[in-house]
């Protein structure tokens, strides 16, 4: 599992979706994601994917994970007080979430 995901882009969402999918469904999932994310990922899509990435990283015993999301997503996730997370709100409208276990 990679350590860095940018969920503010279509490509970043595709990369994350591939990691989260069972191997047998990767081709199907990538096609579905490409069709689904014809525009920039929404706030809800970023939140869902970030939570799923954090859970997957925890399950695979990853020591660290960095996720980039829009600032509004970062603020909402910070409010949830997810264990082991720190947030760096950037001036470019993006927040980097660092998760360490």
Q: Give me the pLDDT at residue 32, please.
A: 63
Report the predicted TM-score, pTM, of the whole model to 2 decimal places: 0.76
DSSP state of 62: -
pLDDT at site 83: 87
Can you state the angle between helices 10-20 and 26-36, rounded to 10 degrees?
A: 150
Residues of the chain where predicted confidence (pLDDT) is lower than 50: 24
State the average pLDDT for the chain: 84
Enumerate long-range contacts of 13-16, CB under 8 Å, 24 or more apart: 13/37, 13/41, 13/45, 13/46, 13/49, 16/49, 16/52, 16/53
């Amino acid at each position: 599992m990679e350590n860095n995901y940018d969920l503010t882009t279509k490509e970043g969402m595709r990369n994350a979706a591939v990691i989260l999918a069972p191997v047998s469904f990767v081709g199907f999932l990538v096609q579905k994601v490409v069709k689904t994310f014809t525009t920039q990922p929404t706030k809800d899509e970023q939140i869902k994917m970030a939570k799923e990435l954090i859970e997957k990283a925890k399950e695979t015993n990853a020591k660290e994970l960095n996720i980039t999301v829009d600032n509004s997503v970062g603020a909402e996730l910070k409010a949830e007080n997810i264990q082991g997370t720190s947030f760096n709100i950037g001036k470019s409208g993006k927040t980097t979430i660092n998760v360490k276990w």
